[in-house]
Chains A and B, each alone.
Chain A
């Protein structure tokens, strides 16, 4: 058969389509314990379970924020946590029209013989884990593959390995009722220009969709989470309209129309940058057969974290800040964002960290 149509097919298609609803997007709140620790240390907050719970409660209960979201990606710990009122986060999200998702990969490991390239692990017992997550209320999953641009990178091995990992992950998810978000991140690190990024992104995406086809993945029940096409971090910036054109062109050349939505990662972009770029893409007068929205982590939470600083008395202010970014990105999915909506300086701060490891 072409695409595997298991017992969850209709549900997968419906869920993927809902996540891609114009005006909504995804909050990536799936930082692992180690990663959230880095965020916390940046605001002098202790990395203990109660603080991790408090942050996520702050985000999920922000008045007015959930209507801007169609999904939230969670780390395993959070999937089983509750609000201070004792309501499971998963239920709270579902009651507010937000679909819970779960990060299922187990990080990257080196590919021996390459120049610092990696592959992603997590396939062992993935099916069983997906079943558990489905029972706990998750309806979509995320797996992050990482590629880099260099003189001889990404190598053919790295592209094939990561594409195959994404395809196996995707089909296992679909067998178990979870919509797989396919994330082949091409890192911004480097001094290359935007054309190089475009070429690599197109080559990688082409390999990814060939692999998905080989593994019988039902594209209508998937989402794509790619990098935007931009100059390297060491190169000069370009206007959002330029990023929009190169990005949408790359996607038009590689992503089959059957895919309902594309949910961009923000990489090291500042909150404002990420929003402006997404907005420019949605304003672009080029035929786009999938919706273009966000799956932002840092680019949704940065100024919120700063405003909170771990203190209870700052929660309302932090939630107001979070709402600003949610609304800005919701507008951006409709091409309606007007720059400078938040006057916050933190919103323009670059979030780029060289060689960033999650």
Chain B
């Protein structure tokens, strides 16, 4: 059969559609212990469990924030943590109408014989892990594949390997009740222009959807988390309308209408940049059979982190900063963001880190 009919089919379709609800998007709060350590050290906060828990509690209990979100991606540790009042985070999210999701990949490893290209690991025992996560309340998953642009990159091997990994992961998730977010991130690093990024993005996405079809993945129960199409980090910036045009066109050429939503990653974009680009896409008058929303990590949390600085007395102000970004992005999914979000400290700051390792 073309797509495999999981016993969870109806649920997968309903959850994927819900995540794509206009006006909502995803908070990517799935930084691994190592990665969150980098964030915390940048604000001079110790990387201990209580601080990691405190940060996530700050985010999830921000008054007014959850209505802007349809999902939150969690790291495994967070899936089992509770608020200071003893309420499991998973329950707080569910009660707030937010689906809990879980990062399931185990990071990247080098592809020998290539020029620094990678593949993503995490397939071993994935089915069992998904079952456990489902029992713990997760309803969607995330797996990040990484590609880069260079004179000979991405290579055919890197494209095929990563597309294959994404397809296997997606099929296994669906067998076990989790909506797979398919994330083929093409890094922004480089001096290439936007046309080059468009070309690579289209080639990569075409390979992904061929692989998903080969592996009998039911597209109606998936989401796509792509990069926006932009010039390389070392090239001149372009207007949001240009990013919107190239990005949506790339999606039109590769993403079947059966996919309910596209939830963009923010890469190294500043909070404001990411929001403006998303807004421009939703204002674009062209065929868009999938909703266009966000799955932002840094681009939702940057100014919040700075405002918090790890101090209890800053929580309220930090939550206000977080709400500002949540609302801004919620408006951007509807194409009504006016760019008037009071910019928190660092909202316009680029979050690009060359060769960023999560």
Contacts and interface: CB of A to CB of B under 8 A. Distances in A.
Contact of A252 (B198, B202, B257): B257
Given A202-B213, A206-B213, A213-B203, A256 B2 contact: no
Contact of B2 (A2, A209, A253): A253
Contacts of B150: none
Interface stretch (B28-36, B127-135, B246-254): B246-254
B48 interface: no
A63 interface: no
Interface in B159-211: 195, 198-199, 202-203, 206-207, 209-210
A209 B251 CA distance: 14
B2 A202 contact: yes
Nearest to B260: A287
Given A198-B2, A289-B257, A258 B249 contact: yes
B85 interface: no
B249 A206 contact: no
Interface in A98-126: none
Contacts of B219: 253
Contact of A210 (B1, B210, B258): B210
Nearest to A255: B256
Interface in A248-303: 249-250, 252-258, 287-289
A256 B199 contact: no
- Size bin of chain A's contact surface: 20 to 34
A3 interface: yes
A151 interface: no
Contacts, number: 82
Nearest to B216: A199
B287 interface: yes
Interface in B205-225: 206-207, 209-210, 213-214, 219-220
Contact of B253 (A210, A214, A219): A219
A257 B292 CA distance: 14
A61 interface: no
A213 B2 contact: no
A203 B213 contact: yes
A198 B254 CA distance: 20
Interface in B48-86: none
Nearest to A253: B258
Contacts of B214: 206
A346 B218 CA distance: 41
Contacts of B195: 1
B44 interface: no
Q: Which of A2, A206, A249, A255 has the most CB of B within 10 A?
A: A2
Contact of B256 (A207, A219, A254): A254
A258 B213 contact: no
B256 A2 contact: no
A195 interface: yes
B210 A288 contact: no
Interface in A160-195: 195
B257 A207 contact: no
Contacts of B258: 249, 252-253
A253 B210 contact: no
B254 A213 contact: yes
Nearest to B207: A210
A2 B203 contact: yes
Contacts of A256: 252-256
Q: Which of B1, B250, B256, B288 has the most CB of A within 10 A?
A: B256
B210 A207 contact: yes
Contacts of B249: 258
Contacts of B3: 202, 253
Nearest to B250: A2
B2 A199 contact: yes
Contacts of B199: 1-2
A206 B1 contact: no
Contacts of B220: 253
B1 A195 contact: yes
A21 to B, nearest CB: 16
A258 B253 contact: yes
A237 B220 CA distance: 27
B15 to A, nearest CB: 18
A206 B252 contact: no
Nearest to A260: B287
Contacts of A255: 256-257
Nearest to B214: A206
Contacts of B206: 209-210, 213-214
List the 10 shortest-distance A-B pairs measured between CB atoms, nearest first: A206-B213, A202-B2, A213-B206, A199-B2, A2-B199, A210-B210, A258-B252, A2-B202, A289-B289, A252-B258
10 contacts: A195-B1, A199-B2, A202-B2, A202-B213, A252-B256, A253-B220, A257-B256, A257-B287, A258-B287, A288-B257
Interface of B: 1-3, 195, 198-199, 202-203, 206-207, 209-210, 213-214, 219-220, 249-258, 287-289
